[in-house]
Structure 1
Amino acid sequence: MKKPAFKKVYLFFSSLFIFILHMPFVFAKAKTVIGFLDKNPTNHPVAAIDSPLVNTVNGPLVKIDLYDSLCLGSLGLARQAFDYAMKGFMVMKSSGELTNGNIISIIDFSKPSSEKRLFVLDVVHYKLLFNTYVAHGMQSGKEFAKRFSNKPKSNKSSLGFYETLGTYFGGNGYSLKLQGIEKGINDNANKRAIVIHGADYVNESFIHSQGYIGRSWGCPALPERQHKAIIDVIKNGTCLFIFSPDNSYLSHSRILNHGAGPMLAFK
């Protein structure tokens, strides 16, 4: 009757001994991996953006990648759009362009308008605040935005980096002014009255009927049921980046090419 009990005790202490024996190897491996990550910041594209730190057992604090931690890829945000947005965000922040460096909004025009392609991120608290539909200019394309312009009355979207300004009530109701900060690319935003506003054509019923949402005269229009909440979060000095894998923009943007050569002013 005593043998089963003795066997259980023996197995318990044997397992405990093996566990203790392997502990140094586990920690050594963890330190090696963590040390590699800390010495290779390029493995963390967002490391420079005050990434949150996670405490590890017997190891240093490790920075987490914002894109992966918020599963932005699975939500449809292109990695290229995110990386370019973060680069420009840091350029704007370091130059004192932003009065609110906690928030960044990314519009990914590599996606069709039938997908939720606006992402509003809190980079300090690592939160996805909004992910919703956004319109492009009627002359930029139907389902996809493919053509862009900085010219007044072009009815096309303009790519690049913007600083959000103040709000006002206009013909489209509660709206948000935008300042395009890339010369020759989007700096006519004020002249063109390119603003963020709500629109009844930005809704899923349009997607069901025609395969894409309605289009604007160039404004990044939002769903009426969400635009006020979004505007109140991103107003007054935050960064907005409108992305497309457009070769002309990518090669001419002084912000995205910042650091590739001599210092270039982007205004």
Structure 2
Amino acid sequence: MGYNFFTSVLFLFFSFTSTTPKNAATPVVTTTNNALAETESVYNMIKAHSATMPGFACFTKAMNGFKHLKEQGKIKKDLLTVIDFSQSSNTKRLWIIDMATQTVLYNTLVAHGRNSGDEFATAFSNDNSSNQSSLGFYATGEIYNGKHGQSLRLDGLEKGINSNARSRGVVVHAADYVSESFIKMHHRLGRSQGCPALPGNLTKEVINLIKDRSCLFIYHPTEKYVKSSALAS
């Protein structure tokens, strides 16, 4: 009887140790595959409706963060603003996407900080007086009237990455150096003190659309950001 009991215990032990890791891994793999498939499906649907789109790597991170922030209640609207600072400042590298209807509402020029680079942005900071852009996810805030006219405050949602945005005065505002004519004259777009500045003719309608807790994401594939961001992964 003692032998049979011991044999039964061994059988149960080896059964659990041999099958549990395999069974435990399956939901993780399935969840990852499902999330990627969902992102690819949404991306292709938006692309079918739109003339241009951010790159898939950029959009994947943007959508990951958007979903997390929606679940956490940190953003309220179904609008996702994506800025891809891996692209030349001479290109239209800002997109405003209606995630409910899966369409691009705006695609336009946007400036980066003067100390982030010339035509291309390569350096980023969360520090005061750095005059550099900050990467990562933001929630849009309230509209106010400042030295650039009607402007939109931003709250950085990633500690150590863009969390000083409000105290730095990083806002969405209009700038005359964000234009095709400036590019023709200087061979690159003008630069800000770290703000995502927009063309003057679009700024009011854009900030009235995205104000009050919509998601704004500034992307660059710099390794430091990719490793530090919990929202983008």
Deviations 1:197-223 (A, max 9, x none): 000000001111222110000000000
Count of aligned residue pairs for this structure pair: 200
Structure 1 partner of 2:13: none
How far the C-alpha of 1:66 sits from its partner, in A, is 2.8
Rate the CA distance shift 1:156–1:43 in 2: closer, same or farther, 3 A.
closer
SS of the counterpart of 1:85? helix
Residues 106 and 203 of structure 1: CA distance in aligned 2, closer, same or farther (over 3 Å): same
Say whether residues 1:77 and 2:54 are aligned partners.
yes
Give yes or no for contact 1:45–1:83 (8 Å, CA) kept in 2.
no
- In structure 2, what residue type is equivalent to 1:86? M
Q: Equivalent of 1:97, from 67, 71, 74?
A: 74
SS at match of 1:242: strand
d(CA) in 2 for partners of 1:171, 1:149: 23
SS at match of 1:116: coil
Check 1:192–1:156 CA distance in 2 against 1; reply closer, same or farther (3 A cut). same
Equivalent residue number for residue 25 of structure 1 = none
- Secondary structure of the residue aligned to 1:70 is helix
Give 1:69 shift: 2.3
For the residues of structure 2 that align with 1:161 and 1:90, how far apart are their CA atoms?
Answer: 12
- Distance in 2 (alpha carbons) for counterparts of 1:94 and 1:252: 21
2:53–2:95 contact (8 Å) kept in structure 1: no
What's the TM-score once normalised by structure 1's chain length?
0.72
Q: Are 2:102 and 1:126 aligned?
A: yes
Q: What's the offset of the Cα at 1:254?
A: 2.1
Mapping 1:220-239, distance limit 5 Å: 220-239=196-215
In the alignment, structure 1 residue 162 sits paired with structure 2 residue 138: yes
3-state SS of the aligned residue for 1:87? helix
5+ unaligned residues in a row in structure 1: which ranges?
1-39, 48-64, 258-267
| SS of match in other structure, 1:107 | strand
Equivalent position amino acid for 1:46 in 2: T
Q: Does 1:140 align with 2:116?
A: yes
Task: Detail structure 1 runs of 4+ shifted over 4 Å in the superposition.
Answer: none
Contact 2:47–2:53, Cα closer than 8 Å, also in 1 = no
Q: How does 1:1-267 map to 2 (within 5 A)?
A: 41-42=34-35, 44-46=37-39, 65-71=41-47, 75=52, 77-100=54-77, 102-257=78-233
Matched residue SS, 1:222: coil
Shift, 1:67, TM fit: 1.9
Bigger RCO (CA 8 Å, 6+ sep): 2
Q: Deviations over 1:168-203 (max 9, x none)?
A: 000010000000010000000011100000000000
Question: What corresponds to 2:24 in structure 1?
Answer: none
Aligned-pair CA distance for 1:98: 1.0
**Which one-letter code corresponds to 1:172 in the other structure?**
H
In the alignment, residue 136 of structure 1 is paired with which amino acid?
H
Q: Using the alignment, how far apart are the partners of 2:36 and 2:148 within structure 1?
A: 44
- After superposition, the Cα gap between the structure-2 partners of 1:174 and 1:122, relative to the gap in structure 1 and judged at 3 Å, is same
Q: State the Cα RMSD in Å.
A: 1.6
Q: Any idea what the Cα deviations from partners look like across 1:83-112, whole Å, max 9, x if unmatched?
A: 000000011011111122x10100001101
Identity %: 44
Deviation at 1:41, TM superposition (A): 3.0
More helix by share: 2
Question: Within 2, Cα distance between the matches of 1:155 and 1:43?
Answer: 36
**Matches of 2:135 and 2:36 in 1, distance apart?**
28
Deviations 1:233-252 (A, max 9, x none): 10001000000011000001
